[in-house]
Amino acid sequence: MSFAKIYTRGVFGLDAPSIEVEVHISQGLPSLTIVGLAEAAVRESKDRVRSAIINSGFTFPIKRLTINLAPADLPKEGARLDLPIALGILIASGQIPSIPSENYEFIGELSLDGQLRAVSSTLTIAMASEQQQRALFLPCHNADEANQLRNLEVYPAQSLKEVCNHFLNINKLQKLTKTKSILFQQEDTLDLIDIKGQKRPRRALEIAAAGGHSLLFRGPPGTGKTMLASRLPSILPPLKETERLQVASIYSIAKKSYQFGHRPFRAPHHSASHIALVGGGSSPKPGEITLAHLGVLFLDELPEFNRKVIESLRQPIEEKEVTISRASSQITFPASFQLITAMNPCPCGYAFHEDNRCQCTPTMIRNYQNKISGPMLDRIDLHIDVPPLSSYDLQTTIATESSEIVRNRVIKAYELQLSRQNKPNYMLTPHELEKYAPLDDHCKKIISIAQERLSLSARSYHRILRLARTIADLASSKHIASIHLSEALSYRSPMQ
C-alpha cells in the first residue's frame, strides 16, 4: 500500500480541531515534502521522523514521500504530529499493517532514537478525542492527564517501536485503567480564621463569594486587604467536574501548572501589559483573565496598573469572554472571572488616617484616585473601606469563623440560586431581575432616593439588585426586604 491516513489533532485557541495526516509514497527522486500550512516545528519533524524510524528497527523508504496535513487552511504547530507522521510512513511503505484509522488518534513528539516525549495541550486534545469516540495513543508522560476523562480509551507508549508492535500484534499496549479522579476539591491552606477583626470586609467577602460579585478594598497599607482577597477561594463553592476539566484544559493550553480541583487565583503584578492580562500574541494565547476563568482575578494596587490595562477589563467583566482578532483568525477565550481589587486612598497610602501622617495634597489624592475611571468603578459591585486594626483586635485570641463555616453558608446560598434560576446571581439579566428580584413599594422608594442622591447609573441599579438578591439568599429569604436592599446600597459608597 502506498497511501495511509492517520488522525491526530492540532490546537487552535482552546479548541483541538481534527487533523488528517495523509502519506503518499510514489516513484521518483528520494524526497519528503510536507504540505498543509505547517509551521517550523512541523516542517522540522521530517528529520526527527527519519532518525526515529531507522533507530526503531524499520527502513525509511528511499522514494518520493508527500505528506499532507488536512485541512490545508488550518495552521499546524508543535511537535505532537511526529508520531502520526511516522506511523503514516510505515503503513504506506507496508512495514506495519493498515489500521482502522477512524477509530484511533495519535499524538507525540519523537526523539532521534524513537522514544516518545511529552507534549502540551494533552487534556484539550483528549477531550476532543472523547467526543469523537476515538482511542488516543500518546506518550506515557501525558497519560495521567488524559486518563481523567471517563469515556476515553488511553494507550500510553514509551516509543514508536511499542506503538508499531501493538498493531503488529507483538506485545500489545495495555489500555490504561480508570482510577479515581484526582480532580477533587483539596483543602485550602489559607483560611479566614487568620483574619483578625475586619467584620465588615469579611461580610463583604462572603457576599461576593455567594453571588459571584466583584469587589474593591480601599484602605491604608497593612490593614489586611491582600490577606482578605487571597482567602476568597477558600470560601467559594467547589467546581463541578466539567468545570474542573475546563479550567485544567485552559492551563494545559497555556502550558501553566494548575492545582487540580481548586478555583484559580491569579494575582498579576501591576506592571503587567495589556496582552499579559487579556491575552494575545501572533499566535493568540490566553491571558490572566482567562487563566482566572471560574476563579478569582486579584489586582492589587489597582491605580498603579496602566490605565489602558485596567480599561481593557470593562468588556470581559460584562460579557464573560474576550475575543482576540488577528488578520488571519479570530479566537474567543472564556473569561468568567471574579474580580477583586485593592487600592490605597492616596499615593502615600495614609490619607484620612487618624494620625495625620499623610502629606499628600488634595490635588495629588484626586489625581491618584482618578486613575480608575468612573465606568470601571461602576462595574465593581462592592466598595469596601478596610480600616486600620486596633491593638485590641491584633492581640485578641478569640477565634473567628473559619473558611469552612463561611463556605457552608455560601454553598447554601449558591444552591438556592441554582434551584431558583439555574444560574448564580451575577449572571441575572435585567429582565430576569424583574422576575427573581422584585421590590415591594417600600424598597422601590428606598432605591429611588438612593438613585437620586448617589446618581446611580442603570448598570449600578441592576448591580445593586443582584447584590440585594444575594444578601437575601444568605438570609434564606424568598423576597428582598428593605434591610437587604439597604445593606446592598451601603456597599456603593463613593470615593472619599
- CATH architecture assignment, domain 192-425: 3-Layer(aba) Sandwich (3.40)
Quick check: 408 pLDDT over 90?
yes
Under CATH, what is the fold of the domain 3-167? Ribosomal Protein S5; domain 2 (3.30.230)
Quick check: 182 pLDDT over 70?
no
pLDDT digits (tens, 9 = 90+) for 218-257: 999 988 999 999 999 999 999 998 899 999 999 989 888 8
Residue-range domain boundaries for the chain: 3-167, 192-425, 428-496
Residue 185: per-residue pLDDT? 46
pLDDT band at 41, cuts 50/70/90?
Answer: confident
What pTM value is reported for the model? Answer: 0.89
Residue 196: per-residue pLDDT? 86
Tell me what the pLDDT averaged over the chain comes to: 91
pLDDT digits (tens, 9 = 90+) for 146-168: 998 989 999 999 999 999 999 99
Residue 187: per-residue pLDDT? 56
pLDDT digits (tens, 9 = 90+) for 15-39: 999 999 999 999 989 999 999 989 8
**Per-residue 3-state assignment (H helix, E strand, C coil) for the chain:** CCEEEEEEECCECCECCEEEEEEEEECCCCEEEEECCECHHHHCHHHHHHHHHHHCCCCCCCCEEEEEEECCCCCECCCCCHHHHHHHHHHHCCCCCCCCHHHEEECCEECCCCEEECCCCHHHHHHHHHHCCCEEEEEHHHHHHHCCCCCCCEEEECEHHHHHHHHCCCCCCCCCCCCCCCCCCCCCCCCHHHCCCCHHHHHHHHHHHHHCCCEEEECCCCCCHHHHHHCHHHHCCCCCHHHHHHHHHHHHHHCCCCCCCCCCEECCCCCCCHHHHHEECCCCEECHHHHCCCCEEEECCHHHCCHHHHHCCHHHHHHCEEEEECCCCEEEEECCCEEEEEECCCCCCCCCCCCCCCCCCHHHHHHHHCCCCHHHHHCCCEEEECCCCCHHHHHCCCCCCCHHHHHHHHHHHHHHHHHHHCCCHHHCCHHHHHHHCCCCHHHHHHHHHHHHHHCCCHHHHHHHHHHHHHHHHHCCCCCCCHHHHHHHHHCCCCCC
